[in-house]
Amino acid sequence: MGKFIKLMTVAFMAVIVLAACGGGDDTSTDAESKEEDSTSGETLKVVTTFTLLEDIVKQIGGDTVETFNLVPIGTDPHEYEPLPEDMGETEDADVLFFNGLNLEGGDSGWFSKLISATDQDEDNVYEVADGVDPMYLGEDSDEEKEVNPHSFLDPQVGMIMAENVKDALIEISPENKEKTQKNTMKH
């Protein structure tokens, strides 16, 4: 558990550093900002399964998203037990992002059960690790290989995850495509 928290802290810090490196180059005028605001759609209600995903969504979605994160910092996302508030937020969400690679317990885990219990439309649920070649725990042994759900620690995987978030946000809110792409390029 302590090792997991250290890994999550390193990943979180990497996202913060990358986000900070992209900022400060906003040369848009107030008129451009007002024009963008008037052409954008409604704010999307987004639910994420853990804080790293929430940070990615906020950076890419910007002011077009309102996020609610399920698993608080310091809580194990492998064994999380959703709260009543989580059910309501999940039910009302326009889009939901989860890591995948068994971080949330896989097909029979807590996140799948939450989606089922809230009758959330499966088309609104996106796995950000989609397309990631899984790493395995215990590769050198003859034991059955277990997928390492912490692939997000690899910066290349982080880039795939960010692209998946961008693509999903554009798919579900095409009216915000320009803003989403611009935010992605900043970071």
pLDDT at 65: 97
Q: What does the pLDDT read at residue 11?
A: 45
Which tens digit of pLDDT belongs to each residue from 163-181? 999 999 999 999 999 999 9
**What pLDDT is attached to residue 26?**
44
Quote the pTM value. 0.73
Per-residue pLDDT at 148: 65
pLDDT at 45: 97
C-beta of residue 47 within 8 angstroms of C-beta of residue 93: yes
Residue 41 has a pLDDT of 61
Where the chain has pLDDT below 50, the residues are 1-40
- Domains within the chain, CATH numbers bracketed: 2-22+42-186 (3.40.50.1980)
For 121-139, b/e burial (b = at least 16 CB within 10 A) is: eeebbbbbbeebeebeeee
148 and 135 in contact (C-beta within 8 Å)? yes
Report the C-alpha gap between 137 and 161 in whole angstroms: 21
